[in-house]
Amino acid sequence: MSDLFRYFENNPGRLIHKWLHYFGIYERHFSALRGRPIQLLEYGVFNGGSLQMWKHYFGPQARIIGVDIDPRCAQLAEPGIEIVIGDQEDRATHMRLKEKYGEFDIVIDDGGHRMRQQLVTFQEMYPAVRTGGVYLAEDLHTSYFPEWDGGMRRPGTFIEYAKSLIDQMHAWHSRTADHKPDLVTSTAYGLHFYDSVLVIEKNAVSPPSQAATGIPVFEVGALEYFLLAMSAQHKGQIDTAINYCRRALAIEPAASDALSLLAKLEAAQATKAG
Ligand SMILES: C[S@@+](CC[C@H](N)C(=O)[O-])C[C@H]1O[C@@H](n2cnc3c(N)ncnc32)[C@H](O)[C@@H]1O
């Protein structure tokens, strides 16, 4: 049984309301940040119990901040737990949070779960998640409930928006003019979809690059020979790299990458010989 679930089952503090399968997801994505001086922001305070659970789980160095529209929640502040009263649908609430706290290691959206609330919160707060941090949105099943502005494949729901993040993650490979890399492309290291939960692991993502190593067994294409040439060049094996480049060009004589690499390699070989 995970530490978080054990805490929940024996909850010594205020009321917590969570779906049971979320506990495994929390452990999987939050455990690396335990015991560290993190800032955790949770939208949706309710009775304050989940904030106490985070305080217990992450330890005394963590700063836990809860946001709720209900002014009664202000009284739930305690050492290590701060409360901000505000509407998550109002961009000014998020601006205030960013001005006061800067960046966050973990942002959890367990607020009102209406489409606009989830969208505005993601748009404003994903950029405020620190590199190495986590954005976690809960209760995405409301995207399927008409009474929550949802509906199956209905444009404008958070789940439809979340699907578009998959496209953005792959924008490096786009062949479409209006599909360009953006903040999500260069920082969403992992998009994890679970029932009703989306977790985004934020980290620096470089444009993807490929390589080939080893000895071809069958005749392969110009791309593989070019990649083998790149790997050989990387290891300082100029003659081998030239050989692979020539094999690539024998298959595709106009391959510009291979032509320019060959020119570079031949120049390096001449310098070495001279
Ligand atoms: C599901 S409860 C939060 C549960 C809590 N995190 C827990 O685990 O026990 C949802 C909370 O979101 C708050 N809420 C609803 N609409 C909101 C909004 N527009 N902005 C901020 N909080 C909102 C409600 O007042 C309520 O306390």
**Which residue among 20, 85, 88, 108 has the greatest number of ligand 1 atoms within 8 angstroms of its CB, and so is best to mutate?**
88
No. of helices (H) and no. of strands (E), the chain: 10, 7
- Catalytic one among 17, 94, 113, 141? 113
Q: Using the mean position of ligand 1's atoms as its centre, give its distance from the Cα of residue 70 in Å.
A: 8
For the stretch 134-163, pLDDT in tens is 999 999 999 999 999 999 999 999 999 999
- Which domains does the chain possess? 3-202 (3.40.50.150), 222-273 (1.25.40.10)
Taking CA atoms only, the protein residue closest to ligand 1 atom 11 is 44
Q: Using the mean position of ligand 1's atoms as its centre, give its distance from the Cα of residue 110 in Å.
A: 6
* Confidence check: pLDDT of 44 > 90: yes
Q: Using the mean position of ligand 1's atoms as its centre, give its distance from the Cα of residue 60 in Å.
A: 25
Residue 85, ligand 1, Cβ within 6 A: no
Handedness of CA 38, 39, 43, 48 (dihedral sign): positive
For the stretch 85-117, pLDDT in tens is 999 999 999 999 999 999 999 999 999 999 999
Nearest atom in ligand 1 to the alpha carbon of residue 70 is: 25
What is the per-residue pLDDT for 185?
Answer: 98
Could you confirm whether 113 is annotated as catalytic? yes
Alpha helices, DSSP H, located in the chain: 3-9, 22-30, 49-58, 91-101, 115-125, 158-169, 183-187, 222-234, 238-251, 256-273
